[in-house]
Amino acid sequence: MTRSTRLTALAAVSAFALLGACATAPTAAAPAPSTATPATAPAAVMAHDIHSFARPDEARVTHVGLDLTTDFAAKRLSGTATLDVDAKPDARMIVLDTKDLEIQSVTDASGKPLQWRLGTAPQGTPEVMGVPLEVTLPAGTKRIVVRYATSPNAAALQWLTPAQTAGKKYPYLFSQGEAILTRTWIPTQDSPGIRQTYDARIVVPSELKAVMSAEMLTPDGEPAEGGHAFRFHMDKPIAPYLIAIAVGDIAFKPLGARTGVYTEPSMLDKSAWELADVEKMVEAAESLYGPYRWGRYDLLVLPPSFPFGGMENPRLTFATPTILAGDRSLVSLVAHELAHSWSGNLVTNATWADFWLNEGFTTYFENRIMEKLYGPERAAMLANLGWQDLQNAVAEAGGPNAPDTRLHLDLTGRDPDEGMTDIAYEKGATFLRTIEEAVGRERFDAWLRSYFDRHAFQPMTAEVFLADLRANLIKGDAALEQKLQLDRWVYEPGIPENAVVRQSDAFARVDAQVQAFAAGGPASKVNTAGWTTQEWQHFLGSLPAKMTPAQLADLDKTFNLSNQGNSEILFAWLKIVVNNRYQPGVPALEKFLTSQGRRKFVLPLFTALMKQGDWGQNLARKIYAEARPGYHPVTSQSVDAVVK
Ligand code: BES
Ligand code: ZN
C-alpha cells in the first residue's frame, strides 16, 4: 500500500478508532461478558477486505445454518446453507464468496426461488478468491437458502482414506478455513470482519462421529437417514475462517473441568498424557488477560497430514500429532492456540493485511503463558528461538528493506498466504515485548487486558490498534511516543533498533558447546547433560552451515539424530542433512516427509532440497511423488510451487 492510500484508510477508520479508544462504542462488550450476548462491529466502519467479494455495507450475513451430509465415496459435502441476512432497505442483492462449489438452487425461507448467478472475478484477482455468488434480494428478504455441494478438490477439505488414519479402519474428513478457504465448503461472506454465528446438522456414516468449532448438542448423535446426525451451535459471532469440522473415528477424554481431548481411539491415552497441563494453561491465560469467553476448551489431535501445527478453531483447537513428543516438550503450541481465544478469535484481524494482529499478539501471549507455567528460562529460550526465526524470515523475504518485512502488508492481487510468514509472528511479538519493556509489565498488561475487553468480538486494524494504544497507554507522553517508534514498527520494513530481545543463559551455555564442536571437537565431548528440546533446537540451528561428512556422521551416531522421535529436533537435523547433502540421512528425510504433512516442516525441507543442485532436485521430485497424495491441499499447493 502506498503512503497515500494508507492515509485514506486511516481517515476511513478514525471514527471507529475514537469509539474504540474511549470505550463508548455501543457495540463494545462489557468487561465481564461471559453471559452477555456479544455484538458485532457496525458495518459502516469496517475496513475494506480485498480478499472477499462481499459488500457488507449493502447486505451482510449474520448467521449460517448448515445442514450437510458427508459422502466419503464421492468426497462431497452436500445439503443447504441457510443464511440470515442483514440488508440495507434499498439493497437489491447480496454477494457471497464461493470457490469450486456446485450451486444447485437459491430460495428464500419459504422456498420461493431467488435469482442468482456465479459472477466472474475481475482481472488480476488471485485464483484463490474464487468467484462471487450474487443473489437478488426481493425487498424484506431476511433469510436465503443455498442448496449446494462441495467439489472433491475443495481446498479446505481433506478426505483421508482409512490407510491415512491411525486406526486404518475408517475414513476421515477435516477442514482448514484460514485464511480464505471456508468459501470452498460454505457459500458465505468469507471475510474475517464479517462475523457470523452458526449452527449445523451434519449427517455422517453411523460408525463415525462429527466434531465442530461450536457447542456439541448431540454427543452421541441422533438417528438420521443414511447414518446419524450431529448438531452444533456457536452462539458467539465468529470470523468465518473459524468454522471448522472433522469427521472420523473420534474418541474423547476429559483433561479438566472444562477441557478435554478428541482424537482417534489409539491416540487417546498418549494425547491426554501430553496435554495434561491444558486446564492449567487456561487458568494462566485468564489470570493474564481476562476471562475465557468460549465455554469449553477442547483439542482435536488430527491425523498426521494436518497441514498446521495448530489451528485455533473456537472451543476446539485442531492440532498436529507431531506435537506428541512423549515428554510434553512441545506444548507451547497449545499455549499459542489457546491464546488465540483472545487475540484472533475475540479481537480479529479485519483483513489479512493485518494478520500480525492475530499472530504477533498471540506469539507474545503464548510466551507469557509459558513463562507463567514453566518459568522464565523456558520462556526466554522459546522467545530466543523466535528471534532466530525472525532473522531467517527477514533474510528469506529479501533483507531488511523488503516490503514484506512490514507488519501491515500490501497484499493487493496476492494470495493472503504469501503474507503469512514468521514476520507477522515474531516481529509482531517483538514489537509488543518492546512496548512492554518501555512502559513496564504491569502497565502493559493492564492495557492489553482492557484492549481485549474494549474490542471483544470486533475486527481490528493496525490503525485502530495504534489509536487505542495512543489513547489508553501512551496518553500523550511525547518522550514515550518518540522512544517507541510505533509507525516505524507497523508500516516500515526491517526490525527497528529499539527491538527488545530476550536472552537466554541456557542458550549461552549451548553456544559454548557449538563453538567447541565447530572448532573440531568430537560430538562425544559436547556436554548435552540436561538439555531440553529447546536447547537441542538451538544447538542444531547454530551449527556451521557446512560441516564435513565425518562431523555429520559423528553427530548422527553420537546423538542418534536420524531416529529422533521429537519432530522439532528431527526437523532441525534434517535441514542440516539437506544443506550438507548428507546421504546417510536421506532415509530419515524420506520417512519424515512421507509420514506427516505439516507445512512448516515439509515446505522448508523441499525448498532446501531444490537448492541442492541435481542431487537435491532429483531427491525432492522422487520423495514428493510419493508424499503428495497424502498431503492436505494447503501443503501440496505450497509445495507444488517449489518442486517442479
Ligand atoms: N492460525 C495459525 C495457523 C494458520 C496460519 C492457518 C496461517 C492458516 C494460515 C495457527 O495459530 C498457528 O500459528 N500455528 C502454528 C503454530 C504456532 C505454535 C506458531 C503452526 O501451525 O505452525
Ligand atoms: Zn497462530
Residue 431 and residue 494: Cα distance in Å, rounded?
12
Residue 443 and residue 389: Cα distance in Å, rounded?
28
Residue 568 and residue 329: Cα distance in Å, rounded?
10
Residue 323 and residue 331: Cα distance in Å, rounded?
7
Residues 6+ apart with CB under 8 A from 578: 589, 605, 608, 609, 612, 616
Q: What is the dihedral of CA 266, 267, 270, 276, to 10 degrees?
A: -130
Average pLDDT over residues 49-74: 98
pLDDT at residue 208 in the model? 98
Q: Could you tell me if residue 399 is left (phi over 0), alpha (psi between -120 and 50 degrees) or otherwise beta?
A: left
CB 202 within 8 A of CB 181: no
Residue 391 and residue 400: Cα distance in Å, rounded?
9
Q: State whether the beta carbon of 433 lies less than 6 angstroms from ligand 1.
A: no
CB 235 within 8 A of CB 302: no
Length of the chain: 644
Q: State whether the beta carbon of 306 lies less than 6 angstroms from ligand 1.
A: no
Amino acid 385 reads L
> What does each C-alpha distance from 92 to 39, 71, 191, 193 come to in angstroms?
25, 35, 21, 22
pLDDT at residue 174 in the model? 98
Average pLDDT over residues 165-185: 98
Cell numbers of 120, please? Answer: 466472474
Which-ligand-closest: CA of 309?
1
Nearest alpha carbon, ligand 1 atom 2: 311
Average pLDDT over residues 84-103: 98
pLDDT-above-90 percentage for the chain = 93
Average pLDDT over residues 180-190: 99
Q: CA angle, 158 as apex, 154 and 159 as ends, to 5°?
A: 105
Q: CA angle, 557 as apex, 552 and 563 as ends, to 5°?
A: 100
Give the pairing type, strands 259-263 and 297-301. Answer: parallel
Counting from 1 in the atom list of ligand 1, the atom nearest the Cα of 420 is 7
Amino acid 31 reads P
* pLDDT tens sequence across 193-248: 999 999 999 999 999 999 999 999 999 999 999 999 999 999 999 999 999 999 99
pLDDT at residue 561 in the model? 98
Q: Could you tell me if residue 4 is left (phi over 0), alpha (psi between -120 and 50 degrees) or otherwise beta?
A: alpha
Residues 6+ apart with CB under 8 A from 50: 351, 411, 412
Please tell me which residue in 241, 297, 364, 425 is annotated as part of the active site. 425
Cα of 537 vs centre of ligand 2, distance in Å, is: 20
Q: Tell me which H or E stretch contains 362.
A: helix 355-374
- Give domain limits for the chain: 9-49+350-491, 64-338, 534-640
Q: Tell me which H or E stretch contains 536.
A: helix 533-542
Q: Which is nearest to 465 in space by CA: 474, 180, 383? A: 474
CB 278 within 8 A of CB 179: no
CATH topology of domain 64-338: Immunoglobulin-like (2.60.40)
DSSP state of 348: E
DSSP states of 483-533: HH-HHHHHHSSS--TT------HHHHHHHHHHHHHHTT--GGGS--TT--H
Q: State whether the beta carbon of 312 lies less than 6 angstroms from ligand 1.
A: yes
| pLDDT tops 50 at residue 21 | no
Residue 391 and residue 385: Cα distance in Å, rounded?
10
Chain centroid to Cα 408, Å, comes to 17
| pLDDT tops 90 at residue 22 | no
| pLDDT tops 50 at residue 91 | yes
Tell me which of 512 and 15 has the higher pLDDT: 512
Chain centroid to Cα 161, Å, comes to 25
Nearest alpha carbon, ligand 1 atom 14: 310
Residue 317 and residue 43: Cα distance in Å, rounded?
28
Residue 596 and residue 594: Cα distance in Å, rounded?
6
Nearest alpha carbon, ligand 1 atom 17: 333
| pLDDT tops 50 at residue 37 | no
pLDDT at residue 46 in the model? 74
Counting from 1 in the atom list of ligand 1, the atom nearest the Cα of 320 is 21
Ligand 1: residue of 178, 213, 308, 388 to mutate (most ligand atoms within 8 A of CB) is 308
pLDDT at residue 2 in the model? 32
Residues 6+ apart with CB under 8 A from 273: none
* pLDDT tens sequence across 393-450: 999 999 999 999 999 999 999 999 999 999 999 999 999 999 999 999 999 999 999 9
DSSP states of 153-180: T-TTEEEE-GGGSSSSSS-EEEE--TTT
Ligand 1: residue of 359, 370, 418, 637 to mutate (most ligand atoms within 8 A of CB) is 359
Cell numbers of 341, please? Answer: 481465544
| pLDDT tops 50 at residue 618 | yes
pLDDT at residue 45 in the model? 53
Question: Is cis: bond before 179, omega within 30 of 0?
Answer: yes
Average pLDDT over residues 518-547: 97
pLDDT at residue 234 in the model? 99
| pLDDT tops 80 at residue 31 | no
Q: State whether the beta carbon of 336 lies less than 6 angstroms from ligand 1.
A: yes
Cβ count within 10 A of residue 525:
10
Which-ligand-closest: CA of 318?
1
Tell me whether residue 472 is exposed, middle or buried, using C-beta atoms within 10 angstroms of its C-beta: 0 to 12, 13 to 18, 19 or more: middle
Cα of 309 vs centre of ligand 1, distance in Å, is: 6
| pLDDT tops 70 at residue 15 | no
Q: State whether the beta carbon of 337 lies less than 6 angstroms from ligand 1.
A: yes
Q: State whether the beta carbon of 415 lies less than 6 angstroms from ligand 1.
A: no
Average pLDDT over residues 525-551: 97
Q: Is 289 among the residues known to form the active site?
A: no
* pLDDT tens sequence across 337-379: 999 999 999 999 999 999 999 999 999 999 999 999 999 999 9
Q: Is 337 among the residues known to form the active site?
A: yes
CATH superfamily of 9-49+350-491: Neutral Protease Domain 2 (1.10.390.10)
Q: State whether the beta carbon of 422 lies less than 6 angstroms from ligand 1.
A: no
Please tell me which residue in 274, 337, 359, 463 is annotated as part of the active site. 337
Q: State whether the beta carbon of 232 lies less than 6 angstroms from ligand 1.
A: no
CATH number for region 534-640: 1.25.40.320
Cα of 202 vs centre of ligand 2, distance in Å, is: 27
